[in-house]
Structure 1
Amino acid sequence: MFDTPTRYIFEDFITDTGRARSGDELFGLLRKGVGQYGYDRLVFTVRRDVDLPESLNGHALLYSYPEDWVKYYIENNCASFDPVMKAGATQANAFTWDGLEKRSVYTPKQTRFMRLADEAGLKNGVGVPIRGSGSTIAGVGLASTERCDAAHPHLDMLSAFCTQFYAAFKRLNPRTASEQTEPAHLSPREREVLTWMASGKTDDEIGMILSISRNTVDSHVRHIFLKLNACNRVTAVVAGLMHGHIHL
């Protein structure tokens, strides 16, 4: 299954994605491309890309994962501890889930999560991070319904298919003129404060960590809210992540 000769050559995939007129059509082409290597379960996620409309920044934008698994994933906020998602945000190259687990130290919660994914029919998993201009973080998760212990994942070709898919997806979904605003500029200290806010620290705790007074922290927080057009700490952190000011 995983070592069958390529039948849908990459050059044809490039031509076909250039002609596609919808995200669903593009996703169908991607399924065809990676399907020849045995991967019939896909999920496409954009964690952050300021070149795309904000409505297209999110988990499971397009997918062929089991519906009940996607529902479970979203309802239980699994993205906050999913080791594959975290690796996809920090790694530059495609990786296998098995390889990631061998070189990582999972928490019991993460280990159980990965076992549940396997039971849900997501086997031989591969993560394909996609990097673009600025602080873009996106990716495609690939898996198979059937387990193949001798799976050869063809990581380079899978990366090529996914990267070309993303380039075509962005072509179809440009931001409108009204959305193309210049991102706010945060000072290095404001980024530090926002990073600790994202970690759940209080103003007093941030002041102790950065060796500044609570009043100074409060001043930075107010400036951050103003620059990011945020009404509270949660929206400030979300905006900071969205525009690449901070990384988790």
Structure 2
Amino acid sequence: METWKESQLKQLTFAKGIDAAYPILLRFAENLGFNFCAVSVVSLHRDTPLKTLQINNYPEEWNSQYEKRNYSKVDPLIAHCNHSMTPIVWGESVFAETLQLWQGLKQHGLQYGWSQSFHHEPSGLCSIISLARKHCSISPLELYEHFGYMFYAASHLSELFARTLPPQALKPRQPQLSPRELEVLRLSADGKTAFEISMILSLSERTVNYHVQNVIEKLNVCNKISAVIAAARAGII
């Protein structure tokens, strides 16, 4: 690792809050060859109303236009980052359904960029770091070289923000059950045996038991009955 990268990542690690971490992250982005750096942290919990944190050095005119036109509701970068932690490179194809947003980015020197998110499971927070520049597209090699650094930075920002939340806001996210697992769980709640469920869903009994075991592990319980009870209490079924 280059000396400056190691030094700035160490500074980022010891930052006490996001206000202190952002200038470090901005310098890091500039050293990587980017003009702009944006940070946002949102809650993916619909029942946990938290004000979105947004810090960036974008042109003020663009920030005003973005807010005035409520672009956050249709921004494909946000939609992607809220559901995936894979990096997304900005381009016309990404903004195919929001061309006005794409034109605005280009007009303000934000044409070449990429975004990286991190989902903080204990708190349900999603942090997004976006880097952008006026010239020069982002190559696959460049993305590969910088992905690890930005993923770490995004995870650290989530952790810093989570520390500022009141305890009641730190609700664990509900386990994500597959549609098939939900079907098996609902039928189990109706008192059906593995054999009966296999007949209803046209599955083998072994497959049904496999889904049951997955549900037990995801809900962190010890048996099928406990899984049904835990799922009902959590409002999953």
TM range, smaller chain: 0.5 to 0.7
Residue by residue over 1:105-133, the C-alpha shift from the partner in whole angstroms, topping out at 9 and shown as x without a partner, is: 722xx112101111011121112122231
Aligned equivalents of 1:86 and 1:42: distance in 2? 19
Partner of 2:58: 65
2:151 equivalent in structure 1: 163
> Alpha-carbon deviations, 1:192-229, whole Å to 9, x = none?
xxxxxxxxxxxxxxxxxxxxxxxxxxxxxxxxxxxxxx
- Offset at residue 160 of structure 1 (A): 2.8
SS in 1 for 2:135: coil
Question: TM-score, normalising length from structure 2?
Answer: 0.60
In the alignment, the residues of structure 1 paired with residue 25 and residue 77 of structure 2 have an alpha-carbon distance, to the nearest angstrom, of 20
**Structure 2: 5+ residue runs without aligned partners?**
179-235
Residues 34 and 158 in structure 1, CA contact (< 8 A), matched pair in contact too: no
Greater relative contact order (CA < 8 Å, ≥ 6 in sequence): 1
Q: Distance in 2 between matches of 1:116 and 1:95?
A: 18
Structure 1 residue 150 displacement after superposition: 7.0
Which residues of 2 match residues 145-156 of structure 1 at below 5 A? 146-149=134-137, 154-156=142-144
CA distance in 1, matches of 2:141, 2:23: 20
Structure 1 spans left out of the alignment, 5+ residues: 189-244
CA RMSD of aligned residues (A): 3.6
Q: Deviations over 1:127-162 (max 9, x none)?
A: 212223165433112111x31257567224443333
For 1:126, the equivalent position in structure 2 comes to 114
Change (3 A) 1:180 1:153: same
Q: Secondary structure at the match of 1:127?
A: strand
Letter in 1 for 2:167: A
**Residue 172 of structure 1 aligns to a residue in which SS?**
helix
Tell me by how many angstroms 1:12 deviates. 2.6
Equivalent of 2:96, from 81, 106, 114?
106
Q: Deviations over 1:159-187 (max 9, x none)?
A: 333333334334433122354467799xx
Partner SS state of residue 131, structure 1 = strand
> How far apart are the structure 1 equivalents of 2:95 and 2:111?
20
Greater shift in the superposed pair: 176-185 or 70-79? 176-185
Query: What is the Cα deviation at residue 21 of structure 1?
Result: 2.6
Please say if 1:86 is aligned against 2:79.
yes
Q: What's the CA shift for 1:22? A: 3.2
Give the match's secondary structure for 2:4: coil
Question: How many equivalent pairs are there?
Answer: 176
2:167 corresponds to: 177
Bigger Rg, which one: 2
Sort the Cα spacing of 1:153 and 1:76 in 2 relative to 1 into closer, same or farther, 3 A.
farther
Letter in 2 for 1:94: P
